């Protein structure tokens, strides 16, 4: 080692730094070797070789550091640790040969000549060249350690190691930790640690205590009252939703608890949206139920009005006939009168029956004709009626030609029947008429039904009763209007605009 003194203090100090760096790199290589997963026997021998190379570099660093101290103290000491240096070299040589043979790695044998550059024998024969051989040996050892590290790094990509498992767990977006039954955490990833800090404000060393804090809601951010699949859900300030669940594990025959946290933000948003839609659907259902109830009430009201109108028309017809008989001083015996009254009461009791023999206009004309009332019909009434006319039979006009009634439909025909029956009954009972004229006409824009009579004109203003009011309501449903005139004769007229009627369905309700 005396040859180092000739190169000066700066060179020796540089070698101290170089030897320290070489020792650090070789120590890293040893650690990488011992972190192999399921290492074979040959791999263990290679790890042992790297450990003795580390001892060799440490000894070289110790020698150069001792030399620097002696140089600084102006002391010249010959070579030291001679037997130890030979012993470590011998072990390195034996291990390198073993690894080269067993693992088929002849490149490992290069460590033997590199280590030989620093043994006392080389120092004796090289003289002043030894410091440079010593420096070269350190550099070559660093290169070998770097190659070994690169090779181990490549092996990590092809095999499972403790580091690779930890890296894989830390790379998960989900949180994960596993603990023993006493609470000792044996595995935890970074995401679970981050969730611990966010939810509780600190890291936990006891997994069971952290689990209890989550279950009992003893956290900074409180769990949601609504849970997914019976699990705990936490909504963080960044808008993400995390679902915590646990499972029991058997590892080496021992019970363990695994707690995981999954990001369910998308699922939570969809669930919340579904809840809102369900609320809207429930609200719409309540509205629909209320609307159906209202429609049922309206239907019942319409049915009641229809029955009242039916009873009114029927009673008015019977009373008009009786008044006509009495005023004309026609003879009628007591039995016929009682039978007539009984028939009238029987008709009143038949509330659900929609039609009787008086609903037909032809029958109506015959009944009133028998008591001296002449009913004349001109024009074309709606289909469904076959009244007697005072004009020759002719084919009904086609299209919208004037003089005909092109409108068809059961509702319009029903209105015509009710309208004529009410007008004739009022003419006979109130006006004492003996002649009634019914005219059905059609122009380009409207259809008209007019009923006039030769009865006594009212002396005062006409007060409309329930019969006329009901006619106006029915006409309005079909898009029509009703007018009443008293000069020169009493006349009631129903007007129906064709455009309005075209937009009315057979039930009498406007479309759109």
Q: At which of 104, 135, 160 does a domain end?
A: 160
Q: How confident is the model at residue 144 (pLDDT cuts 50, 70, 90)?
A: confident
The pLDDT of residue 314:
62
Structure tokens at 348: 């009143």
CATH code at 426?
Answer: 3.30.565.10
Q: Which residue, chain included where needed, has tokens 């079909």? A: 478
Across 86-100, 124-138, 304-318, which has the greatest mean pLDDT? 86-100
Of 98, 131, 160, the domain-final residue: 160
3-state class (DSSP) for residue 174: coil
484 inside domain: yes
Token couple for 177: 């930790």
For residue 438, what pLDDT is reported?
Answer: 92
Q: How far apart are CA 209 and CA 497, in angstroms?
A: 84
Going 118 to 121 to 123 to 125, the CA torsion angle's sign is: negative
415 and 462, same domain (yes or no): yes
CA torsion sign for 323, 328, 333, 336 is negative
Cis peptide before 356 (omega within 30 of 0): no
Asked if residue 285 belongs to a domain, the reply is no
Same domain, 115 and 239: no
In this structure, the answer to whether residues 389 and 455 fall within a common structural domain is: yes
Q: Count CB atoms within 10 A of the CB of residue 76.
A: 10
Three-state SS for 346-379 is HHHHCCCCCCCHHHCHHHHHHHHHHCCCEEEEEE
The pLDDT, as a whole number, for residue 308 is: 62
Tell me, yes or no, whether 122 and 208 share the same domain: no
Q: Measure the CA–CA gap between 45 and 90, rounded to whole angstroms.
A: 15
Of all residues in the chain, what percent carry a pLDDT higher than 90? 3
pLDDT digits (tens, 9 = 90+) for 483-493: 988 888 889 99
Q: Is the pLDDT of residue 46 over 70?
A: yes
SS3 221: coil
Confidence tier at 439 by pLDDT (50, 70, 90): very high
Q: What is the pLDDT of residues 100-113, one digit of tens each?
A: 888 777 888 888 88
pLDDT band at 496 (very low <50, low <70, confident <90, very high): confident
Token pair 């004739």 is at which residue? 424
Predicted structure pTM score: 0.35
Token representation of residue 14 = 């540089």
Each residue of 375-425: pLDDT tens digit?
Answer: 899 888 876 443 344 444 444 444 333 334 444 456 777 788 888 888 888
CB 357 within 8 A of CB 363: yes
| CA–CA gap between residue 268 and residue 475 (Å, rounded) | 57
Among 428, 242, 159, residue whose Cα is nearest residue 319: 428
Do 368 and 463 lie in a common domain?
yes
C-beta of residue 179 within 8 angstroms of C-beta of residue 195: no
Residue 127 forms part of a structural domain: yes
H/E stretch holding 260 reads strand 254-263
Max intra-chain CA distance, the chain = 170
User: Residue 151 domain-assigned?
Assistant: yes
Look at 228 and 398; give whichever has higher pLDDT: 228
Model pLDDT, residue 508? 39
**Cβ atoms of residues 439 and 379 within 8 Å:** yes
Report residue 450's pLDDT band, with 50, 70 and 90 as the boundaries.
very high
- Same domain? For 59 and 200 the reply is no
* Contact between 434 and 373 (Cβ < 8 Å): yes
How many residues in total does the chain contain?
512
Q: What is residue 339's predicted lDDT score, i.e. its pLDDT?
A: 59
Given 227, 250, 269, the domain boundary residue is 269
Confidence at 505, pLDDT banded by 50, 70, 90? very low
Token pair of 42, please?
Answer: 């040959």
Both 357 and 393 in a single domain?
yes
Alpha-helical regions (H) of 181-264: 190-200, 207-216
| Contact status, residue 59 vs residue 76, Cβ threshold 8 Å | no
| Tens digit of each residue's pLDDT (9 = 90 or more) over 31-45 | 877 776 555 677 788
> Is it the case that residue 354 has pLDDT exceeding 50?
no
Environment class of 367 (CB within 10 Å of its CB; exposed 0-12, middle 13-18, buried 19+) = middle
Secondary structure class of 245 (helix, strand, coil): strand
What span, in angstroms and rounded, lies between the C-alpha atoms of 73 and 78?
15
- Residues 108 and 148: their CA atoms lie apart, in Å, by 10
Res 86: pLDDT: 87
Q: How confident is the model at residue 397, as a pLDDT? A: 42
List the domain range (segments joined by +) for residue 25: 2-160
Q: Residue 38 corresponds to which tokens in the numbers above?
A: 């399921």
Helix (H, G, I), strand (E, B) or coil at 243: strand
How many Cα atoms within 13 Å fall on the side-chain side of residue 159? 13
Higher pLDDT, 389 or 439: 439
Domain identity same for 185 and 140: no
Total domains, the chain: 3
With respect to residue 314, please indicate whether it lies within any of the assigned structural domains: no
pLDDT band at 121 (very low <50, low <70, confident <90, very high): confident
**Same structural domain, 151 and 186:** no
Q: What count of other Cβ atoms lies within 10 Å of the Cβ of residue 89?
A: 20
pLDDT surpasses 80 at 80: no
Can you name the residues that pair with 389 across neighbouring β-strands?
A: none
Separation between Cα atoms, residue 471 and residue 378, nearest integer Å: 21
State the pLDDT at residue 451.
Answer: 93
> Residues 159-186: pLDDT tens digits?
555 666 777 788 888 888 888 888 888 8
Mean pLDDT, the chain, integer: 75
Does 180 fall in a domain? yes
What pLDDT, on a 0 to 100 scale, did the predictor assign at position 437? 92
Q: Are residues 15 and 82 in the same domain?
A: yes
Residues 53 and 125 in one domain: yes
Residue 328 belongs to a domain: no
10 pLDDT exceeds 60?
yes
Mean pLDDT value of segment 23-32: 85
- Secondary structure class of 440 (helix, strand, coil): strand
Q: What's the CATH number where 244 sits?
A: 3.30.450
Mean pLDDT of 290-302: 76
Asked whether the predicted pLDDT for residue 226 surpasses 60, the reply is no
Asked whether residue 185 is domain-assigned, the answer is: yes
Both 129 and 176 in one domain: the answer is: no
């Amino acid at each position: 080692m005396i040859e180092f003194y000739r190169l000066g203090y700066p060179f020796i100090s540089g070698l101290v730094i170089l030897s320290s760096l070489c020792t650090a790199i070789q120590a890293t290589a040893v650690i990488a070797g011992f972190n192999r997963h399921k290492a074979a026997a040959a791999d263990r021998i290679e790890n042992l070789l790297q450990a003795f190379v580390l001892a060799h570099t440490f000894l070289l660093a110790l020698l150069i550091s001792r030399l620097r101290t002696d140089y600084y103290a102006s002391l010249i000491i010959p070579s030291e640790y001679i037997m130890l240096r030979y012993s470590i070299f011998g072990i390195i040589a034996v291990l390198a040969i073993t690894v080269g043979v067993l693992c088929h790695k002849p490149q490992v044998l290069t460590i033997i000549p590199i280590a030989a550059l620093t043994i006392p024998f080389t120092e004796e024969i090289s003289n002043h060249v030894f410091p440079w051989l010593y420096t070269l040996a350190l550099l070559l050892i660093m290169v070998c350690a770097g190659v070994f590290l690169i090779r181990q790094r490549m092996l990590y990509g092809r095999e499972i190691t403790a580091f690779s498992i930890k890296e894989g767990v830390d790379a998960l977006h989900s949180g994960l930790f596993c603990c023993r039954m006493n609470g000792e955490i044996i595995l935890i990833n970074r995401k679970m640690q981050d969730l611990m800090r966010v939810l509780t404000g600190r890291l936990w060393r006891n997994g069971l205590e952290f689990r209890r804090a989550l279950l009992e809601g003893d956290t900074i951010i409180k769990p949601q009252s609504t849970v997914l699949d019976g699990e705990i859900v936490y909504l963080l300030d960044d808008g993400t939703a995390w679902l915590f669940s646990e499972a029991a594990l058997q590892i080496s025959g021992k019970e363990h608890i695994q707690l995981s946290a999954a990001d369910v933000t998308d699922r939570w948003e969809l669930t919340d949206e579904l809840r809102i839609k369900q609320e809207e659907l429930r609200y719409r259902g309540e509205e629909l139920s209320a609307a159906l109830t209202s429609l049922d009430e309206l239907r019942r009201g319409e049915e009641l009005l229809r029955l009242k109108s039916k009873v009114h028309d029927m009673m008015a017809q019977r009373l008009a006939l009786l008044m006509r008989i009495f005023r004309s001083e026609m003879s009628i015996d007591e039995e016929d009168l009682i039978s007539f009254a009984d028939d009238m009461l029987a008709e009143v009791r038949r509330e659900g029956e929609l039609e009787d023999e008086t609903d037909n206009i032809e029958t109506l004309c015959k009944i009133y004709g028998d008591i001296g009332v002449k009913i004349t019909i001109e024009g074309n009434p709606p289909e469904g009626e076959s009244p007697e006319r005072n004009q020759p039979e002719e084919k009904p006009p086609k299209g919208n030609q004037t003089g005909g009634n092109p409108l068809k439909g059961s509702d319009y025909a029903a209105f015509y029947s009710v309208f004529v029956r009410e007008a004739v009954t009022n003419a006979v009972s109130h006006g004492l008429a003996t002649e009634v004229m019914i005219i059905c006409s059609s122009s380009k824009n409207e259809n008209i039904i007019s009923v006039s009579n030769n009865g006594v004109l009212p002396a005062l203003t006409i007060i409309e009763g329930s019969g006329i009011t009901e006619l106006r309501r029915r006409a309005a449903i079909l898009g029509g209007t009703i007018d009443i005139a008293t000069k020169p004769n009493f006349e009631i007229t129903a007007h129906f605009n064709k455009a309005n009627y075209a937009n009315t369905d057979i039930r009498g309700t406007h479309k759109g």
